[in-house]
Structure 1
Amino acid sequence: MRLKTTLAVAAMFLATTGLARAEGELNIFNWGNYTSPELIKKFEDTYKVKVTITDYDSNDTALAKVRQGGHGFDIAMPSQNYLPIWIEEGLVLETNPGQMENAKNMLPEWADPEFDPGRKYSVPWALGTVGVVVNTDVYKGPIDTWAVVFDPPAELQGKINIVPEMNDVIHAAIKFHGGEMCSADKTLLKQVRDTLVAAKPLWVAMEYSTIEKMVGGDFAATTDWNGSALRQRLQNPKIQFALPKEGFQLWSDNAVVLKDAKNVENAKLFLNFIMDPENAAMISAFSRYANGIKGSEAFMPEDMKTAPEVMVPADLLATADYSKTCPPEAQELYTRIWTELQK
């Protein structure tokens, strides 16, 4: 009955917005292992649109590909600290999702964010945090600190992975040394650089494939995002996530329509579609991240409603930084550190 109702409402929506000829294609460029097959099937069935998903592994990879042009993608999912760059460079289309039918479902705190005032370009896809994940069979000490990866105990040395998202790693090292987000203080950043260079020989890898390798025992600890950590714990309860006491990031990824999209009307339909609470819950149920859509909690898996990976304790919120675009001066210094770390 719900499906019939959804189809009927969809038909009415199309008829009233002049988008009745929605049949065709939609090409989505998204982070790997991040898109719910159930969500995509529902969209395809509802609008008779064939969806193709292409994966990327980092914000820098996505930005470089879209900058090149000729990619054939309609939608991408930049993180909030990168989105202003996409907007400034004219890579995204002003579709005014804040005025779409389902925009009323956005949580107030995500309806008018600093990185996209008035939601002229983007729709929230997922919300999360950056922290530390540890297999507590290997290490039984405290894990609520960046020291786990930057000054690791003997049990973890040679078994640590670092997810190579530059801004996440630099921010974590800055907080480890008591600094502030986007700092360009050269004395502080020398400490950050020295810490990272000294720690690197104690790591086994710098890669994104954390779920499989933490569960499989290839890694005993990693920096990671909370949804990934939850997926790991559900497969092995000994894998635990912690928000470091020195401070951590709160972030969001956001769906945008690309400036050179070939299927603009289908892309707009998709933005409106994912602001429906039931559909937003499908995104969360697959990726295991929270979302910015009110009412979606009614459709969320029970194991997410109290998951420690998803819930941010009130006493830790004071140490959290909302992810943002750092000034060019700071970003240039971070890039230098990162380039040296890759050698």
Structure 2
Amino acid sequence: MNRHLPAHRTRRHALLGLLAAGALSLAAHPARAQVAGEKTLRIVLPNAVSSGVDTITRTAQPALAKALGHPVTVENQPGAGGVLGVQTLARAAPDGYTLGVVSNNVVIFPSVIQQLPFDLNTDVVPIAVVGYTPIVLVVNPKVPASNAKEFVAWLKSRNGEANYASGGNGTILHLASAMFVDEAGVKARHIPYKGVGPMLNDLIGGQVDFATAALPSVQQHLRTGALRAIGMGTQQRVAAAPEIPTFVEQGLPGYVVEAWFAVLGPKGLPPAEVRRIHAAVVTAFADPGVAEAMARQGNVINVSSPERAQQFFKDELAKYAKLVKKAGIEAQ
């Protein structure tokens, strides 16, 4: 993936959304070795059930538990567009028993929400950017289009009356769809939902026309025909879904969006615990079963160092501030 795009193209590219990767840790105190396995670790997801982050985290959950020697629970806290989940993480004790798995959404929050109950620069500790997941634009089967050319023509014929869904106002899926509308030179109305699950329910039911989503969250619906894929927001076709063409090859070279997922800890997490958690993430995602599942879902795993993750978050905060401004989304 190209991380050195010229400025005019950077405005049209986003490292997306979706989605998610999990991690756990052990508590940082002398008794740690003596109580291993006695206390449950929780992974807080500021994302709804059925989201890309949720799918990826639950897939890796058993391997993560094994790598750290503790039982693991996954808690979905998508309230307030995901702000509630990040707030829970930010207020957690830095003992290694509460971690978060997040998507691009978290670096968008400061640009779309006027008063956040946390400071992303100081209240959380990036531990690892785990990888990336493909973003696909999907439509309700009633939409009379099966490729980008037909879809853009249909949108133009609707004169702005077509609508698209997202998992919430200002989320990465909102931005991904807004960027498509901008790239295609069309108009469409945005309808935000409280999470990816409700968004997909109404998209399948025909209440909305289209949406962008992480591939893992819609693979089953594509197989059953409940949804139809128009194109993939990647530079090249994805091995997990080679039948879906990219928008680049369909004449929209500026539309490339990729969703990343990362592991965070609360502020004050000791450096030794950061390293321990990071090592567990590397081990868990190298597990053959997890690696096979990630490939099947189309995810690209490339676990960053803690140092790289921390710089990455700073860069992404600045990047999305520009994208939000370009998309015309006002802070609320």
Deviation at 1:43, TM superposition (A): 4.4
Distance in 2, matches of 1:227 and 1:152, equals 29
Distance in 2, matches of 1:227 and 1:337, equals 27
Greater RCO, CA 8 A, separation 6+: 2
Q: Provide TM-score, normalisation by structure 2.
A: 0.54
Aligned counterpart for 2:42 among listed residues 27, 31, 38:
27
Distance in 1, matches of 2:191 and 2:157, equals 14
Distance in 2, matches of 1:55 and 1:284, equals 20
Q: Provide TM-score, normalisation by structure 1.
A: 0.53
Distance in 2, matches of 1:175 and 1:157, equals 16
Point out where structure 1 has 5 or more consecutive residues left out of the alignment. Answer: 1-17, 94-120, 180-191, 295-322
Distance in 1, matches of 2:261 and 2:144, equals 32
Distance in 1, matches of 2:192 and 2:139, equals 15
Distance in 1, matches of 2:321 and 2:302, equals 35
Code of the residue aligned with 2:291 in structure 1: it is A
Code of the residue aligned with 2:318 in structure 1: it is C
Distance in 2, matches of 1:231 and 1:281, equals 19
Distance in 2, matches of 1:267 and 1:224, equals 28
2:132 and 2:259 in contact (8 A); partners too: yes
Give CA-to-partner distance per residue, 1:54-97, whole Å, 9 cap, x none: 1133554544444455699622123358569977325116xxxx
Match of 2:11 in 1: none
Distance in 1, matches of 2:170 and 2:63, equals 35
Q: Structure 1 residues 157, 78: CA separation in 2 closer, same or farther (over 3 Å shift)?
A: same
1:133 and 1:240 in contact (8 A); partners too: yes
Distance in 2, matches of 1:47 and 1:66, equals 19
Matches within 5 A, 1:1-343: 20-21=33-34, 22-23=36-37, 24-30=39-45, 31-33=47-49, 34-35=54-55, 37=58, 39-44=60-65, 48-57=69-78, 58=81, 60-68=83-91, 74-79=98-103, 82=106, 88-92=121-125, 121-124=127-130, 126-140=131-145, 142-143=147-148, 147=152, 151=155, 153-154=157-158, 157=161, 160-164=164-168, 166=170, 168=172, 169-170=174-175, 172-174=177-179, 176-177=181-182, 199-200=188-189, 206-207=193-194, 208-209=196-197, 210-236=199-225, 239-242=228-231, 243=233, 244=247, 245=252, 246-260=254-268, 264=273, 267=277, 270-281=280-291, 284=294, 288-293=297-302, 324-326=316-318, 330=322, 333=325, 337-339=329-331
Deviation at 1:178, TM superposition (A): 5.2
Larger Rg: 1 or 2? 1
1:146 and 1:172 in contact (8 A); partners too: no
Q: Structure 1 residues 40, 226: CA separation in 2 closer, same or farther (over 3 Å shift)?
A: closer
Code of the residue aligned with 2:283 in structure 1: it is F
Give CA-to-partner distance per residue, 1:213-261, whole Å, 9 cap, x none: 4444444422222322323202326522413424131231112333356
Secondary structure at 2:318's aligned position in 1?
coil
Code of the residue aligned with 2:76 in structure 1: it is D
Deviation at 1:290, TM superposition (A): 0.6
Secondary structure at 2:167's aligned position in 1?
coil
Secondary structure at 2:42's aligned position in 1?
strand
Deviation at 1:41, TM superposition (A): 3.6
Distance in 2, matches of 1:213 and 1:240, equals 16
Distance in 1, matches of 2:268 and 2:170, equals 27
Distance in 2, matches of 1:29 and 1:87, equals 16
Q: Structure 1 residues 260, 152: CA separation in 2 closer, same or farther (over 3 Å shift)?
A: farther
Code of the residue aligned with 1:259 in structure 2: it is K
Give CA-to-partner distance per residue, 1:34-69, whole Å, 9 cap, x none: 145464345446755221211133554544444455
Q: Which moved more, 1:37-46 or 1:251-260?
A: 37-46
Q: Structure 1 residues 284, 213: CA separation in 2 closer, same or farther (over 3 Å shift)?
A: farther
Distance in 1, matches of 2:177 and 2:205, equals 26
Q: Structure 1 residues 90, 43: CA separation in 2 closer, same or farther (over 3 Å shift)?
A: closer
Q: Structure 1 residues 144, 71: CA separation in 2 closer, same or farther (over 3 Å shift)?
A: farther
Deviation at 1:28, TM superposition (A): 0.4
Secondary structure at 2:124's aligned position in 1?
coil
Q: What do you get for the CA RMSD once the two structures are aligned?
A: 4.7
Q: Structure 1 residues 215, 53: CA separation in 2 closer, same or farther (over 3 Å shift)?
A: same
Code of the residue aligned with 1:129 in structure 2: it is P
Give CA-to-partner distance per residue, 1:13-32, whole Å, 9 cap, x none: xxxxx975532321101233
1:129 and 1:251 in contact (8 A); partners too: yes
Aligned residues: 247
Point out where structure 2 has 5 or more consecutive residues left out of the alignment. Answer: 1-30, 111-118, 234-246, 304-314
